[in-house]
Amino acid sequence: MKSKTLEQVENQFETFQILNEEGEVVNEAAMPNLSDDQLQELMKRMVYTRIWDQRAISLNRQGRLGFYAPVAGQEASMLGTHFALEKEDWILPGYRDIPQIVYHGVSLEQAFLWSRGHFQGGQMPEGVNVLMPQIIIGAQIVQTAGVALGLKRKKTNTVAITYTGDGGASQGDFYEGLNFAGAYSAPAIFVVQNNRFAISTPVEKQSAARTIAQKAVAAGIHGVQVDGMDVLAVYAATEEARERGLNGGGPTLIETLTYRYGPHTMAGDDPTRYRTSDLDDEWEKKDPLVRFRKFLEKKNLWNEQQENEVVDQAKEDIKAAIKKADAAPKQKVTDLIGFMNEKLPYNLNEQMDEFKAKESK
Amino acid sequence: MAQMTMIQAITDAMRVEMKKDESILLFGEDVGKNGGVFRATEGLQDEFGEERVFDTPLAESGIGGLAIGLGLTGFRPIMEIQFFGFVFEVFDSIAAQMARMRYRSGGMYHSPVTIRSPFGGGVKTPELHADSLEGLMAQTPGVKVVIPATPYDAKGLLISAIRDNDPVVFLEHMKLYRSFRGEVPEEEYTIELGKADVKREGKDISIITYGAMVHSSLKAAEELAKEGLEAEVIDLRTISPLDIDAIITSVEKTNRVIVVQEAQKQAGIAANVVAEINDRAILSLEAPVLRVTAPDTVFPFASAEDVWLPGYKEIVETAKKVINF
């Protein structure tokens, strides 16, 4: 039996939703103030990302992409949070969070080079405030506390946002990052995309806590659980978190309840080993594209032709980006040595000379 | 010139740099109002304010992440790890994150972080305070590792470490903090990182060392001199990267070498020095290069330090072994 205290705590974290599965507004009061153009743009991005995901999986199977973590199902969670940001805000992505940094200014070509393992994939464009996708789960969380404190000290009126998954919320760095940002009242937004599985481990095996949002309590910061398949709710929660951060209210933890339709990564993961088709079906019905499409169609803001245009554009862009990525120069050891330090130490200077000689042969 | 202990020289280096460069932030556990558990940051919060010198929650990993994030937003962080035995908590932030920042961003970002941390035996600290873990850091591409042995070196090296635009681990031996005073210029000066220093000239054998073992080696050299043997004592000062030129120049002069470290034989960086000498100067050697190190056990219980830590007697003994080879 649950203690009263526990029950009371959990009741503080009811799922925040604006659109239901039928695309009906169930929480008019919370409706974000978005123009028709903005609503259409959100839909475009979600459709584009769905196509990109399908193409990336296919390109990976053909051996034309390397490491890839599928995103289908998480479009609302990823793009809804991102849509609430300003250009100058910082993003510290996890390894799955490529769509957010692409919509923040990283090119598709660069995303593909990162997937393949090429240094150009990490050379973020000047003025685009994003870090390279983080492989060490949790490291982005402590770093976000630092970036957010830096932004606060510089009085920049910007925030830092970071993403991890449900499994990531078990890491020590997850707690430390939230707690540091809280102690410094830093403008950070921590997004946990709870897709219910960390590779094969269900979220119930991560923690006895019923929500991840309630982990905010341990840091003394604001936490909210959102329907992560509802792009408007995700957007509204992020917008509110951003305002809170900028107004000195400190960081926010946002848990988005979402699902990945594909495998964990393309490196041989097989979800049929640990997920039932019933669960897949249940979450297919919650597809963020389906419900937002219905919502927009009812408002006469979306039709099949618009959707097809986005699909075609996405396919075309991806083709062009892959071609560009193919044309990237092959990496040399001397390139890699050159990126190690501002001023190379003796050992690297020696090795630079060795490899220069080798490469000129 | 002023007479300073090593810890005063360290405080002075930070004060001098913080005055010049407003982007420098100093933080860690109890470094603010308290002035640090060893008083290394004494008076700095009063002088520069809480925005620049501040305490953190008790979490080393978080401190590392804070330094990375502040570095990305244009600050120059000096972070303190209260004792280097606690580095394991923050190993990812140092070795997997800041060390790789410049590389993994293809030069777009960097981590201008100085990590200050005390270590070293001989002062009977509790568990995991005194361990010599510099070897772990020296194996990490992307970080420099500096270990001063004198007040003069500490100030000049720390100023260089702070100004370096890549991460530098600056390890301060607890036994050397206040054990003696030395001449230290009051103004700013730098000592180039990666440069060793000949602390005593000699022609019969080279003793290559760093940290507290510099002083044990100097004492050993005095003992050897009583027997007419002149040892050259090379203080590495930076253990990664090594000053190969200084090492090889000395080896070619004396033709005999020992490497002395406080760390266990399987740890530290002595094996690396031996390998470099073998690679580059084997034809100058009259005898194998031997090492003086601690035994390969966990760092001793406090009251066993005296029998465990290497001292000048072992250095004399090993030097004679090499000379009489």
At residue A1, does pLDDT exceed 90? Answer: no
Tally C-beta pairs within 8 A across A and B. Answer: 136
Q: What is the mean pLDDT of residues A340-355?
A: 97
Strand arrangement, sheet containing B257-264: B197-200, B231-235, B205-209, B257-264, B290-294
- Mean pLDDT, all residues of chain B: 98
Q: Determine whether domain B2-184 maps to CATH 3.40.50.970.
A: yes
- The interface pTM score, or ipTM, of the predicted complex is 0.97
Contacts of B49 (CB under 8 A, 6+ apart): none
Structure tokens at B135: 């070897």
CATH of domain B197-324: 3.40.50.920
Interface mutation target, options A158, A180, A221, chain B, most CBs of B under 10 Å: A180
Query: Is the separation of the CB atoms in A182 and A250 below 8 Å?
Result: yes
Q: List, for residues A262-321, the tens digit of each pLDDT value.
A: 999 998 888 999 999 999 999 999 999 999 999 999 999 999 999 999 999 999 999 999
Query: Is the separation of the CB atoms in A138 and A173 below 8 Å?
Result: yes
Q: Which regions of chain B carry the CATH code 3.40.50.920?
A: 197-324
DSSP category for residue A84: T
| B173 a catalytic residue | no
Residue A87 vs residues A112, A157, A349, B108: alpha-carbon distances, Å: 22, 12, 39, 18
Query: Is the separation of the CB atoms in A245 and A180 below 8 Å?
Result: no
At residue B43, does pLDDT exceed 80? Answer: yes
DSSP category for residue B195: -
Query: Quick one: which of B73, B68, B79 has its CA closest to B104?
Result: B68
Q: What is the largest CA-CA distance in chain B?
A: 60
The answer to whether A147 contacts B166, with C-beta atoms less than 8 Å apart, is: no
% pLDDT > 90, chain B: 100
Cis peptide preceding B118, ω within 30 of 0: no
For A147, the closest of B61, B73, B241 (CB atoms) is B73
What is the distance between the alpha carbons of residues B23 and B33, in angstroms, rounded to a whole number? Answer: 20
Dihedral (CA of A97, A99, A104, A109) sign: positive
Q: List, for residues A4-57, the tens digit of each pLDDT value.
A: 999 999 999 999 999 999 999 999 999 999 999 999 999 999 999 999 999 999
At residue B97, does pLDDT exceed 80? Answer: yes
Residue B193's CB is within 10 A of a number of other CB atoms, namely: 24
Stretch (H or E) spanning B248:
helix B244-254
Distance from CA of A153 to the nearest CA of B (A): 8
Residue type, A295: F
Query: Is the separation of the CB atoms in B76 and B112 below 8 Å?
Result: yes
Cα A261 versus chain centre, distance: 15
Structure tokens at B64: 């590392």
Interface mutation target, options A113, A119, A131, A143, chain B, most CBs of B under 10 Å: A143
% pLDDT > 70, chain A: 100
- Mean pLDDT, all residues of chain A: 97
Q: What is the mean pLDDT of residues B54-73?
A: 98
Enumerate long-range contacts of A322-330, CB under 8 Å, 24 or more apart.
Answer: A322/A59, A322/A64, A322/A109, A322/A112, A324/A109, A325/A109, A325/A112, A325/A113, A325/A116, A325/A118, A328/A109, A328/A113, A328/A118, A328/A120
A1-330 folds as Rossmann fold (3.40.50)
Chain B CB contacts of A123 below 8 Å: 105-108
Res A2: pLDDT: 79
Q: What is the mean pLDDT of residues B23-52?
A: 97
Residue B55's CB is within 10 A of a number of other CB atoms, namely: 16
Q: List, for residues B174-211, the tens digit of each pLDDT value.
A: 999 999 999 999 999 999 999 999 999 999 999 999 99
Q: What is the mean pLDDT of residues B78-83?
A: 98
At residue A89, does pLDDT exceed 90? Answer: yes
The answer to whether B105 contacts A146, with C-beta atoms less than 8 Å apart, is: no
Query: Is the separation of the CB atoms in A159 and A151 below 8 Å?
Result: yes
DSSP category for residue A330: P
Query: Quick one: which of A199, A196, A206, A205 has its CA closest to A169?
Result: A206
Structure tokens at B178: 């206040």
Q: List, for residues A214-265, the tens digit of each pLDDT value.
A: 999 999 999 999 999 999 999 999 999 999 999 999 999 999 999 999 999 9
Q: Which residue of B has its CA nearest to A122?
A: B105
The answer to whether B73 contacts A150, with C-beta atoms less than 8 Å apart, is: yes
Strand bridging mode A252-257 / B2-4: unpaired
Structure tokens at B177: 């903090």
Strand bridging mode B231-235 / B197-200: antiparallel
Dihedral (CA of A351, A352, A353, A357) sign: positive
Residue A13 vs residues A209, A227, A231, A273: alpha-carbon distances, Å: 11, 12, 19, 31
- CA-based Rg of chain B, rounded to a whole angstrom? 19
Distance from CA of A88 to the nearest CA of B (A): 12
**pTM higher than the cut 0.95:** yes
Q: Which residue of B has its CA nearest to A156?
A: B73
Chain A CB contacts of B78 below 8 Å: none
What is the distance between the alpha carbons of residues A223 and B43, in angstroms, rounded to a whole number? Answer: 38
Query: Quick one: which of B188, B180, B173, B90 has its CA closest to B136?
Result: B90
Q: Which regions of chain B carry the CATH code 3.40.50.970?
A: 2-184
Res B1: pLDDT: 83
Domain boundaries, chain A: 1-330, 331-360
At residue A185, does pLDDT exceed 80? Answer: yes
Residue type, B193: L
Distance from CA of B66 to the nearest CA of A (A): 4
Residue A255, beta-bridge partner list? A192, A225
Residues 199-258 of B with CB under 8 A from A: 240-245
Q: List, for residues B267-318, the tens digit of each pLDDT value.
A: 999 999 999 999 999 999 999 999 999 999 999 999 999 999 999 999 999 9
Chain A CB contacts of B72 below 8 Å: 90, 131, 143, 146-147, 150
Chain B CB contacts of A141 below 8 Å: 65
Enumerate long-range contacts of B29-38, CB under 8 Å, 24 or more apart.
Answer: B29/B55, B29/B56, B29/B58, B29/B63, B29/B80, B29/B82, B30/B55, B30/B82, B31/B55, B31/B80, B36/B80, B37/B82, B38/B7, B38/B118, B38/B174, B38/B177
Q: What is the mean pLDDT of residues B25-29?
A: 98
Q: What is the mean pLDDT of residues B95-122?
A: 98
The answer to whether B106 contacts A122, with C-beta atoms less than 8 Å apart, is: yes
For A180, the closest of B62, B166, B241 (CB atoms) is B62
- CA-based Rg of chain A, rounded to a whole angstrom? 21
